[in-house]
């Protein structure tokens, strides 16, 4: 009995050190060496200052910017410390009413184009950094008007930032909103800065 107890304690200590300390340190070290950018959250730095992450959505509310998907993460949305959706099912009346209201608002902005689903729905995490090309194209007339550029120029910028399906069959085509807006600011700056 005493021998079994000593063996159990030693195994607990050894596995704790091995899998609780050594393994995480090795994996972290390899990630830092081999995938430094990905291991650190794919942060975008400009002028020595972190302005966002390629993999976490942030709100853009100015009319001169492309807007990300809506977010239910946290109290005001886009809270990385409290990510998650509303968990409303497709028959939930609150969700149906909100989507109807958002569709009506979107149609008043762009009455001749069908409203993309991801324009009026939130992502599961509330932090999806990407939108569909259709969503970006739907927003192009508003952004072009505010930036005093042609819609064709806005569409060309969207096309440049559209990532196709991975390996041509995984996922869907997508546009990273932060990268698109940063490129938009560098190529077609607003005369008077709109709020992000």
Asked if residue 77 and residue 15 are part of one domain, the reply reads no
Asked if residue 92 and residue 5 are part of one domain, the reply reads no
Rounded CA-CA distance 187/196 in Å is 17
Residue 85 has what pLDDT?
Answer: 74
Residue 158 has what pLDDT?
Answer: 97
Write out the DSSP string of 142-193. Answer: HHHHHHT--HHHHHHHHHHTEEPPBTTTBS--EEEHHHHHHHHHHHS--SSP
Asked if residue 157 and residue 88 are part of one domain, the reply reads yes
Asked if residue 164 and residue 115 are part of one domain, the reply reads yes
In a domain, 57, yes or no: yes
In a domain, 194, yes or no: no
Residue 195 has what pLDDT?
Answer: 46
Q: Are 59 and 71 in contact (CB under 8 A)?
A: yes
Asked if residue 24 and residue 11 are part of one domain, the reply reads yes
Nearest to 144 by CA among 80, 196, 178, 188: 188
Number of domains in the chain: 2
Rounded CA-CA distance 78/126 in Å is 6
Which DSSP letter does residue 113 get?
S
Asked if residue 124 and residue 62 are part of one domain, the reply reads yes
Asked if residue 177 and residue 113 are part of one domain, the reply reads yes
Q: Is 12 left (phi over 0), alpha (psi -120 to 50) or beta?
A: alpha
Asked if residue 53 and residue 35 are part of one domain, the reply reads no
Nearest to 131 by CA among 79, 51, 77, 70: 70
Asked if residue 183 and residue 147 are part of one domain, the reply reads yes
Asked if residue 14 and residue 99 are part of one domain, the reply reads no
Residue 193 has what pLDDT?
Answer: 45
In a domain, 196, yes or no: no
Asked if residue 132 and residue 183 are part of one domain, the reply reads yes
In a domain, 22, yes or no: yes
CA of residue 10 relative to chain centroid, distance: 45
Domain that holds residue 112: 42-187
Asked if residue 67 and residue 26 are part of one domain, the reply reads no
Q: Within the chain, which residues score under 50 in pLDDT?
A: 193-195
Q: Are 83 and 125 in contact (CB under 8 A)?
A: yes
- 166-195 pLDDT, tens digit each: 998 999 999 999 999 999 999 999 875 444
């Amino acid at each position: 009995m005493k021998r079994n107890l000593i063996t159990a304690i030693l195994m607990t200590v050894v596995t704790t050190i091995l899998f609780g300390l050594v393994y995480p340190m090795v994996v972290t070290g390899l990630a830092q060496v081999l995938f430094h950018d990905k291991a650190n959250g794919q942060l975008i730095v400009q002028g020595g200052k972190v302005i966002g992450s390629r993999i976490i959505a942030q709100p853009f509310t100015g009319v001169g910017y492309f807007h990300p998907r809506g977010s239910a993460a946290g109290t005001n949305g886009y809270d990385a410390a409290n990510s998650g959706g509303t968990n409303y099912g497709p028959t939930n009346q609150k969700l149906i009413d909100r989507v109807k209201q958002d569709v009506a608002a979107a149609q008043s902005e762009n009455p001749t184009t069908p409203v993309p689903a991801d324009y009026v729905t939130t992502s599961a995490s509330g932090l999806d950094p990407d939108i569909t090309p259709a969503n970006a194209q739907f927003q192009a007339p508003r952004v072009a008007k505010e930036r005093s550029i042609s819609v064709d120029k806005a569409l060309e910028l969207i096309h440049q930032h559209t990532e196709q399906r991975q390996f041509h069959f995984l996922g869907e085509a997508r546009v990273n909103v932060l990268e698109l807006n940063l490129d938009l600011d560098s190529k077609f700056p607003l005369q008077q800065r709109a709020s992000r």
